[in-house]
Structure 1
Amino acid sequence: MTLRGGFLVCATMVAACVLLVQRSAMAAQQEGRLVRMAELTIDGEQLDAYRAALTEEITTSLRVEPGVLSLLAVAVKGHPNQIRILEIYRDDAAYRAHLLMPHFKKYKSETANMVKSLTLVETDPILLGTK
């Protein structure tokens, strides 16, 4: 084997090791994450008030709760009263703590008569990637 050939084999092996370490680190980071999808239908006449309450709740949760990693809210295209929220928590304890927070309780009480239906979809994370 030439010096150049040996270098290429070594470089390839190093790159493969780095990739494996990165994948292991990502998997370790995702272990224990609690990820769920909330599917809501909101009373159309109260949609603006609901969106304001949701915005306040998400903004506050992300600002004050270290265990709340991500809260992403979207409306189904063409159906603005159908809201989907992807929730990512550090772990189950962070989720349980979130449910006890004053800002979450305020959101739940303010929006109780606005929410026509709510389905919580439990998930098993496959890959939680962000850029």
Structure 2
Amino acid sequence: MATASRSAFITGRALSRAAPTRARRTAGVVRAAKEGRQSLFVTVTVKEGKMDEYNELIQGHITNCFANDRCMYFDYGIPVDGDPNVVHLYEVYEDEAAYKEHKASAHLKDYVEKAEALTSSTTTMKLLTLAQYGSVNCNYAGECELSGEWD
């Protein structure tokens, strides 16, 4: 069962409130995120002529991750300079358990099976545990997580 989301990307509707123009400061020292966030960096090489198909596939996969996993952030981009067939993915999961749930998910298996026909075997992955003070997590609604709580 899909969970409700406030993301315009997932629902295709405008958000009920605009993102703030500037994050509010609640303290002099900002503790960016709860301990144990798992971040995954993936580099994918898409086969020549398959980028449109891959874009459609990865957009569906991102939607599934937000709807079914405890995925806090998922983005992808193509380098400005360099090979136009290389895609970088960046994912953040709540904790190690959330990442393991994602790895075991049916939608990840489905994505991997479909991506095999569109990508080369040069895919690389790097998993990191995010430093607690490394970044401030913000969602699409413009809410930012400070001290492990959504502002």
Give the structure-1-normalised TM-score: 0.73
Match of 2:78 in 1: 75
Q: CA RMSD in A?
A: 2.0
Q: Runs of 4 or more off by more than 6 Å in structure 1?
A: none
Task: Find the counterpart in structure 2 of residue 120 from structure 1.
Answer: 125
Percent identity between the aligned chains?
A: 19
Give the number of the structure whose residues are more often helix, by fraction: 1
Taking the TM superposition and a 5 Å limit, the aligned residue runs for 1:6-85 are: 18-20=27-29, 23-24=30-31, 26=32, 29-65=33-69, 67-78=70-81, 79-85=83-89
Taking structure 2 as the reference length, what is the TM-score of the superposition? Answer: 0.64
Alpha-carbon contact 2:44-2:86 (below 8 Å) kept: yes
1:122 Cα offset (Å): 2.9
- Aligned residue pairs, count: 109
Alpha-carbon deviation of 1:124?
Answer: 4.6
| Partner Cα separation in structure 2 for residue 36 and residue 30 of structure 1 | 17
Structure 2 partner of 1:89: 93
Post-superposition CA distance 1:66-108 (Å, at most 9, x none): x111111111125331100111000111111112222111110
SS of equivalent to 1:122: strand
- 1:55: Cα distance to partner? 0.7
Residues in 2 aligned to 1:70 and 1:85: alpha-carbon distance in whole angstroms: 10
Structure 2 distance, partners of 1:102, 1:18, is: 41
Which structure's CA Rg is the greater one?
Answer: 1
- Give the Cα separation in 2 of the matches to 1:44 and 1:82: 10
Gaps of 5+ in 2: 1-25, 143-151
Contact 2:36 2:129 in 1 (8 A): no
